[in-house]
Each structure stands twice: as structure tokens, then as C-alpha cells.
Structure 1
Amino acid sequence: MIDVVLRLSARDLVHADLASCGWAGSDHHLAGVARQLDRARAGEVDYLAVCPGTNIPVAKGGVDYQVKEGVGTLWQLAVHPALQSCGIGTFLVEAAELRIRSRGLRQAELAVEESNLRARALYQRLGYVAYDRRPDSWDEQAPDGSLRRHETMCTLLRKELS
């Protein structure tokens, strides 16, 4: 067995990164991320990229400060599928929490699909506690290019930040 150590950094995701983020979702999804980057310029959200030394994103995710007063809401968290279960998701969440704290806020929240047990286990291991459930939906791009409505049930989790 060979251990590989990646030195990671978190920085703002920028429009130029989107061309190398096809692993994160469809063209429709990445167009939505591009719109969120416009919100980042306005200070409404932070949108992070986690990168190794190559400076090419291997994880991405946002923190929305407009969802609930005094709370940073994490959303659109994704790690390159080939690099999942390597600690990169933990690094991403911790970087997002640092951004939240740097704005003087002490609470983080997120929603996770109830079918995504692996992600929920990660968030709970990082100290997030379930407090409610809610239905959610969004448009997804199908392989044929058409848009289909995805409907799901999500568990809402929150964490008090020290």
C-alpha cells in the first residue's frame, strides 16, 4: 500500500474554474454555479474551491448568508468522485465554517437528502445535529439534455460554531 498526501488549500471559486468542474454536475448545474459566483461578488455568498498544488478544484461548495438571518447555510457541496472518502469533504466543510466565523456568525446549517446516508454521516461526525425535515426540488439535466424535476426529502442539520 502507498500513502499519498495531498496538500490542500481553499480559495474562492472563480468563473475560470468551471471548465474543470464537469465532475460536479451537468452543464445546467454549472450554469447555476456561475450565477452564484455573481452573488459571491456581491457578498451574499461565499463559493469555495478546494485545490491541491495544481490549483485545479477537486471539491466545491457554497455558503449562503441570505437564507436565514445570522446563519451561514452550506449548499452545493461536492467532492470529485474519484477522491471521495479521502478527507476532502471534511476539509471543505471546515473551510466553509471558517468563512462563516470570519463574518462573526456562530451557526452553520445545511440540508442533506435523506437517501444520502454517507454525506449525512460525515456532517454528523463533524458535529451537525438534525433538527427538522423538508421537501426540496430542483431541475436536473438528463443525459438527453432535457431538464427533469428532481424531488426529494431533506434532513436539516445545524451546528453551533465555537
Structure 2
Amino acid sequence: MLRGVTTHGDTTGATVSIPVRVRDLLPQDLPACTWSGSATHLRHVERELARAAAGEVDYLAVCTPVGVPVAIGGVDYQVSEDAGTLWQLAVLPALQSSGLGTLLVRAAEGRIRDRGLHRAELAVEEDNPRARALYERLGYVAYGREPDAWDEEGPDGSVRRHETMCVLMGKSL
């Protein structure tokens, strides 16, 4: 259940609660996930769904009662033989700080345990303190740093390289 969502700019202080559920992300969900990244990103997610069908990853969606994804993210089992690696975690911006990220991470951890693994790992960009604070609240501990890079598509279709430094974090399950 998603609780305590207050619309930004709402002066009435109204709170809306809606039930949500976690399920596998499906290819037909991708048009509703444009909030999670560029067209290039969504093509990458589509390729990851093929890996999910092969059992190499889990790709989850937190969905509203009508099935619309409001948070998505994956667990890769090929990065480390001893852990599931959480990646591409995203929450619809208007619903951030409402508990959806926590729900998504906990569901991913459950999938990792279901595979018989006892450790979850992730990388968070150093310039994303809100996400890092969430992971720390959920028990993740920093154990290193490493650079990461990927191509991003701009609104005009141009592609630029995004380079960043990430904090590596892990948690025993």
C-alpha cells in the first residue's frame, strides 16, 4: 500500500493512499515507463527483459491497481556469483519519498534470497545523496568506489557520454 502521497504545491495537505503490487516488468509496460529515462535507456531495459526471460536477471515493477509501473528496477545475477546486484532502480519523480523505493528494494532482496543467495550489492552515484541515504537506511554499507559511464540520448536525439563515480554498497541478507 502506497500511503502519504501529497501532491507538490497542494496547500490542503491532502493525503492519498492507493494499493500497489510488485510484479515482473513486461515488454508492454515500457511505453508507460518513459519517466525512467531516455529512449536509449528504454531500449536497454527492453534488452534486459530478454535476459529476464533467460533467468539471468529479474526486472521488477511496482504497479498501481490498473497495472501502471511507478517504480522499476533490476537484479543481475551475472555480475557476482555470490550476490544479486541491484541496478537501474527508478521511481516516478512525483512519487519519490513515498516508500516505493523501499518496497522495490525489499522485493528485489526477496528475489535474491529466493535464488539462495545471501548478499545484495549495488552502486549509487556519488552525486545522488538521497538514493544513498535510502540504501543506508535499508542496511547497505559502502565498501568501495568505481567509475561508471553510459551514453545518454538528449531531447534533440543527440547522444552524449555520461561519466560518474559510484559508491559500491552491499548488504547481507
TM-score, normalised with respect to structure 1: 0.98
User: How far apart are 1:113 and its partner, in Å?
Assistant: 0.2
Match of 2:79 in 1: 67
- Of 102, 111, 115 in structure 2, the residue corresponding to residue 99 of structure 1 is 111
- Of 15, 19, 22 in structure 1, the residue corresponding to residue 34 of structure 2 is 22
User: How far apart are 1:6 and its partner, in Å?
Assistant: 2.0
Structure with the largest fraction of strand: 2
- Of 55, 58, 64 in structure 2, the residue corresponding to residue 52 of structure 1 is 64
Match of 1:152 in 2: 164
Return the alpha-carbon distance in structure 2 between the equivalents of residues 149 and 70 of structure 1: 31
Matched letter for residue 171 of structure 2: K
Match of 1:35 in 2: 47
Give the gaps of 5 or more residues in structure 2: 1-12
Match of 2:153 in 1: 141
- Of 100, 114, 120 in structure 2, the residue corresponding to residue 108 of structure 1 is 120
TM-score, normalised with respect to structure 2: 0.92
Return the alpha-carbon distance in structure 2 between the equivalents of residues 49 and 64 of structure 1: 15
Identical aligned residues as a percent: 66
User: How far apart are 1:48 and its partner, in Å?
Assistant: 0.3
Return the alpha-carbon distance in structure 2 between the equivalents of residues 158 and 84 of structure 1: 22
Q: Which runs of 4+ in 1 moved over 2 A?
A: none
Structure with bigger gyration radius: 2
Give the gaps of 5 or more residues in structure 1: none
